[in-house]
Amino acid sequence: MRTRNLLMCSVVLLMCWAGIGFADEQDAFVEGTAEVGAHYSHFTDNPQRVGEYVNLDATKDLQADMILNLFGGTENTLYNINLDYRDIATKKFEFGVNTKSFLSADFKYGSFVHNLDYDTLNNMNGKAGGKQVYNTNNDPMGRYFMEYEQFHGDVKVDLPFLTDGQIALGMSDQRRSGYKQTMTLDHCAFCHVESNAQRVDQQTRIWKADVKGTVGAFSLNYDFAKTDFVDRANTPNHQWKSARHPVNGNPMDFPTRQQFSDVTLPYARVADNDKLSHNAGIKVDLKRAGTLKGSYTNTNRRNYNTGIESDFNAGAFGYAVKLSPKMRLTGKFLAYETKVDDAFIDLNNFRAGDLVSGNLNFDWNRISSANRKVYQGDLNLGWRVGKGKHLKASWRYQVIDRPAMVQSQTSYLFDENNVGTNELVASEAFANKTMINRIKLRFDSRLGMKGNYNLTYTFTDVDMPFMNPTAMCENSLRGTDSAHGADGRMYYFQRQRFGNGTNQATQSHKATGRASYQISPRTSINGFLTVASDKNNEMNIYEYNRDLLTPGLNLWTAPSDNLLFTLGWTYNKVTSNANMCVPIFDG
Amino acid sequence: MDRRIFSQTAPGSPLLLLGGLVFCLVLSTGALAQAPADFAGAETCLDCHDDMAAELLQTVHGQLSDYQYPGLAIGCEACHGPGAAHAESEDPEDIFLPTAEMGNDGTDLCLDCHKTGHTLNWEMSTHAESDVSCLSCHKLHDNSSSRALLNGTEEDVCFTCHMDTKGKFQLPSHHPVREGFMTCSSCHDVHGNQFQEIADGETSRDACLVCHQQHAGPFVFEHSPVMEDCMICHDVHGSVANNLLRQNEPFICLQCHQPHFHSILTGADGDYGVDSRVSDADPNYSGLSGTSHPDSMKRVMLTKCTQCHQSIHGSDLPSQSITGQGRALNR
């Protein structure tokens, strides 16, 4: 915080310096606009439903608005000042200065309020036989919001005698403060959900350095970034009650099925973390032979609370060439690897005292689902087929090689080949290789001198997309229980199934059209239509479909220089089908 | 006039004294040295084109110093070439007009100076592949007050083509772009990025984590789609469902997960009586009796999964159930 205040003071001093400097100049100029106004809003019911970014605390009174845009300078220096003030929590300020294009600095400060959900938990009351769900709301007047406050500063110094040479230093400081609703789930005899207000005091600070320049045919760029994230709010604690059996209420039975019981522990803990990244790129201008580009990136992210780290290493290579004055070919290849530390999860033995059918060990070694090797190739051909007409065809092939689709390895699951025996087997890692083929065609054309249109079609074929391989993993257990069959509750039989699930398509078609036309010098119209159809019929239990239809129409007309009307209409329809919930209705 | 890098470097200039290597590299660019006499200077251009050029001089393009782009012309003639002949004859044929004489609105000319930094990846970018030119978004003349010389506000420029995205920002849940607290470039690198097509960051997830670091982890207990791609669950430009979800809960969850079997139990809700064995032990459960509803457990289990699984983006803290192996993400 102290660093940011220091930087803010520096900005004010810089502005004073700029003002004094400009006052002495004979050829100083300044131009700009100023707007003043006021707004008043009133709400009833729950304002969060429609006012996601309205500062509700500032709507009680008439609020003054002010917008100021100034641009000025001299022969050697340019500056801009932009202010947008709506209320004390909703404001933006920008200041930029550029001295003979040698030294430039940009500073931005802004804040706004984001209203968050309030869940009354009214639905969380239910009882079925001995099973019961109950809730406690400790903040019934819930008012949850996050105030975003961001400062960003960049200082750039051009390197003399080097084409496009520059050193840049940047700093960004984002603060998120307010209150959010957090909940705890407590398995005592019942499921007890308890809601509380939790203070949020998070800060993300990013330091950046960037150096670039061109020497002859070689253009170089290196940038470095360090990100630190902390949450200074206290982690809340909750007292988990003594676990009991949900049916017979026996206090001595259930604790051995729970990892913890009758204890006060933290929950909703935010993981402080940092990230370090290096990125180096080089581009070689081969003139008529094209442009060659390569880059290498390394990032490391660390979770302060656990020490778990992730590493990302990537190499990219690209080549672009004009095959003829009207035809352009681009080829790209990208390979990267993400590695996240494993974590061993040491759990209490399940039903530890039951040495006949219990005392099961559920310990597991967590292998991150983020681990992967990715290889991606792109080919793109652009062709100017006529005056004002351009055709583009592109093809992408991507392989995502994951050692584990979901976080898992030596994870114990019920054996699908041995249902009814209640055996636990070690499920090998859900290794998965996703292969994506994508073809894209796009045609752009002018409509005489007054308009233009384009058409785009994309087809994507995915083999083994990201999915949950254990979306349905139910063993039979009581599937042959005649008592349940006798009272018509056939749902237990329906549970005897094992399947994967996803909302990712194996085949996707998407077509988009857009057109703009100038009806008169002061009136223009444009419209668009997007149609998409996603399908996955390669899962073993159900089929997933998603269809999208989005048309839109916009009209722009300016009867005079000072009067402008715009009218827009957009319709968005998305239909999804994932018919995997059948057991609900059987019940 | 042929396209060229317009250079004012005369033989014997200080640049060539930097050494043989630099000398060779400069020559390898194909820069064609023009005698300074061929250049008229911006002041000469202004004599006739005061309407167009005066404001140009109030931009970074008009304020470059001699040493910034060694060997290259600055001012009007940086793009339009040596103007002495044109100033003499006033014949349009004697001046280079990039938009008319070069393909793609003269983008290649811009890239002669803007070679690296933001534009390092331009040639391989989706925009370049779609024949989008610099002038599709930027306006060099009569535009001095615009930040980055954009042809309008950032949103105006982007939404000219991306109309469906503009429509999505009008939906009830959206990022605060139309409120003015974010811009398209908050997430997108429109000049190209080697990883995503135009998303800013190593993966699309990293673009989101710039502002949502609390979900970065890496966590002990993960939710796999969070590690895969935020857009599996979220429609980041706008959605009808709250929190930018592609669908409301529980339907978004049920696309990959089967519901708890409790949701199919015929039950009761409301002011029902609580089992005395428990209510005796805990006053929170006491004093309830009365109505019931057979759908109660459906409402409990099939309304909002994150009421219990609140740490849906990942957690370092194990959940209570041993058979769930601590990974239920409800703590």
pLDDT digits (tens, 9 = 90+) for B66-91: 777 767 777 888 888 888 888 888 88
For the segment A161-186, the average pLDDT, to the nearest whole number, is 91
Least confident of A36-40, A271-275, B7-11, B158-162: B7-11
Of B22, B202, B308, the CB nearest to A314: B202
What CA–CA distance (Å, rounded) separates A496 from A473? 8
- Tokens 């233009």 belong to which residue? A452
B63 lies within 8 A of chain A by CB: yes
A325/B103 CB distance under 8 A: yes
Beta strand A131-137 pairing with A191-215: parallel
User: Which of B213, B253, B286 to mutate: most A Cβ within 10 Å?
Assistant: B213
Q: Which residues of A, range 183-222, sit inside 8 Å of B by Cβ? A: 183-193, 202, 204, 206, 210, 212-221
A128/B268 CB distance under 8 A: yes
What CA–CA distance (Å, rounded) separates A309 from A298? 13
pLDDT exceeds 90 at position A579: no
User: Which of A125, A218, A340, A400 to mutate: most B Cβ within 10 Å?
Assistant: A125
ipTM for this model: 0.86
pLDDT exceeds 90 at position A314: yes
Alpha helix (H) ranges present in B174-303? Answer: 204-209, 224-228, 251-254, 276-279, 296-301
Please indicate whether residue A448 or residue B215 has the higher confidence score (pLDDT): B215
pLDDT exceeds 50 at position B211: yes
Mean pLDDT of chain A: 82
Please report, as a single letter, which amino acid is at residue A261: S
Strands (E), B15-103: 32-33
For the segment B101-120, the average pLDDT, to the nearest whole number, is 83
B115/A164 CB distance under 8 A: yes
Q: CA of A346: which chain B residue's CA is closest?
A: B325
B308/A183 CB distance under 8 A: yes
Q: What pLDDT does A535 receive? A: 94
Least confident of A171-175, A331-335, A541-545: A541-545
What CA–CA distance (Å, rounded) separates A230 from A200? 11
A160/B67 CB distance under 8 A: yes
For residue B325 the two structure tokens come to: 């192996």
What is the Cα A466 distance to its own chain's centre?
17
Sequence-distant (≥ 6) Cβ neighbours of residue B232 within 8 angstroms: A466, A503, A504, B225
Q: Which residues of A, range 425-464, sit inside 8 Å of B by Cβ? A: 442, 444
Q: Which helix (H) or strand (E) holds A484?
A: helix A482-486
Sequence-distant (≥ 6) Cβ neighbours of residue B323 within 8 angstroms: A257, A350, A362
Q: What pLDDT does B7 receive? A: 58
pLDDT tens digit sequence for B14-29: 443 344 443 334 433 4
A323 lies within 8 A of chain B by CB: no
B131/A384 CB distance under 8 A: yes
The domains of chain B are located at 6-101, 114-208, 215-307
pLDDT exceeds 80 at position A230: yes
A587/B266 CB distance under 8 A: yes
Q: What pLDDT does A67 receive? A: 93
**Closest-CA residue to B153 (of A90, A444, A152, A67):** A67
Of A128, A227, A241, the CB nearest to B267: A128
- Partners of residue A501 in chain B, C-beta under 8 Å: 255-258
Percentage of chain B beyond pLDDT 70 is 77
Q: Which residues of A, range 486-515, sit inside 8 Å of B by Cβ? A: 491, 495, 501-504, 512, 514
Output DSSP code: residue B303.
S
Sequence-distant (≥ 6) Cβ neighbours of residue A531 within 8 angstroms: A510, A511, A512, A548, A549, A550
B65 lies within 8 A of chain A by CB: yes
Percentage of chain A beyond pLDDT 90 is 45
A-B contacts at Cβ under 8 angstroms: 454
Of A350, A394, A544, the CB nearest to B322: A350
Can you name the residues that pair with A447 across neighbouring β-strands? A451
Of B129, B218, B272, the CB nearest to A382: B129
Least confident of A452-461, B137-146, B281-290: B281-290
pLDDT exceeds 70 at position A132: yes
Residue B89, SS3?
Answer: helix
Of A129, A495, A504, the CB nearest to B265: A129
Phi, psi of A490 (to 5 degrees): -80, -5
Per-residue confidence band for A292, with pLDDT thresholds at 50, 70 and 90: very high
- Cβ A191 vs Cβ A133: under 8 Å: yes
CA distance B168 to chain A (A): 8
Q: CA of A290: which chain B residue's CA is closest?
A: B123
Phi-psi region of A488 (alpha: psi -120 to 50; beta: other; left: phi over 0): left
Q: What pLDDT does A339 receive? A: 94
Of A112, A370, A550, the CB nearest to B218: A370
B225/A466 CB distance under 8 A: yes
DSSP codes, A19-53: HHHHHH-TT-EEEEEEEEEEE-----S-GGGT-TT
Q: CA of A302: which chain B residue's CA is closest?
A: B218
What CA–CA distance (Å, rounded) separates A328 from B100? 19
- Partners of residue B318 in chain A, C-beta under 8 Å: 259, 345, 347
Of B29, B65, B256, the CB nearest to A101: B65
User: Which of A80, A108, A114, A123 to mutate: most B Cβ within 10 Å?
Assistant: A123
pLDDT tens digit sequence for A93-115: 999 998 876 889 999 999 999 98
Q: What pLDDT does A113 receive? A: 92
B18 lies within 8 A of chain A by CB: yes
Q: Which helix (H) or strand (E) holds A391?
A: strand A389-402
For residue A283 the two structure tokens come to: 């581009």
A131/B265 CB distance under 8 A: yes
Q: What pLDDT does A415 receive? A: 43
- Cβ A212 vs Cβ B116: under 8 Å: yes
For residue B103 the two structure tokens come to: 């393909």
Residue A203, SS3?
Answer: strand
What's the first-to-final CA gap in chain B, in angstroms?
A: 70
B212 lies within 8 A of chain A by CB: no
Taken as a whole, chain B contains a residue count of: 331
A362/B262 CB distance under 8 A: no
Per-residue confidence band for B324, with pLDDT thresholds at 50, 70 and 90: confident
pLDDT tens digit sequence for A468-514: 877 776 544 433 344 444 443 333 444 555 677 888 999 999 999 99
CA distance A3 to chain B (A): 19
- With residues binned 3-state (H G I as helix, E B as strand, rest as coil), the percentages for chain B, rounded to 5, are 40, 5, 55
**pTM given for the model:** 0.85
A405 lies within 8 A of chain B by CB: yes
Q: Which residues of B, range 26-45, sit inside 8 Å of A by Cβ? A: 26, 28-30
A221/B116 CB distance under 8 A: yes
- Partners of residue B147 in chain A, C-beta under 8 Å: 80, 96
Percentage of chain B beyond pLDDT 90 is 18
A583/B261 CB distance under 8 A: yes
A137 lies within 8 A of chain B by CB: no
Q: What pLDDT does A235 receive? A: 92
What CA–CA distance (Å, rounded) separates B323 from A477? 15
B285 lies within 8 A of chain A by CB: yes
Per-residue confidence band for B12, with pLDDT thresholds at 50, 70 and 90: very low
CA distance A13 to chain B (A): 22
- Partners of residue A215 in chain B, C-beta under 8 Å: 22, 25
Of B168, B257, B269, the CB nearest to A126: B269
- Partners of residue B116 in chain A, C-beta under 8 Å: 164, 212-214, 219-221, 281, 283
For the segment A78-87, the average pLDDT, to the nearest whole number, is 90
Least confident of A178-182, A378-382, B169-173, B263-267: B263-267
pLDDT exceeds 70 at position B240: yes
Q: What pLDDT does A350 receive? A: 79
Q: CA of A343: which chain B residue's CA is closest?
A: B220
B202/A336 CB distance under 8 A: yes
B299 lies within 8 A of chain A by CB: yes
Least confident of A120-134, A368-382, B273-287, B312-326: B273-287
For residue A50 the two structure tokens come to: 């429609």
B158 lies within 8 A of chain A by CB: no
Per-residue confidence band for B177, with pLDDT thresholds at 50, 70 and 90: very high
pLDDT exceeds 80 at position B35: no
Mean pLDDT of chain B: 78
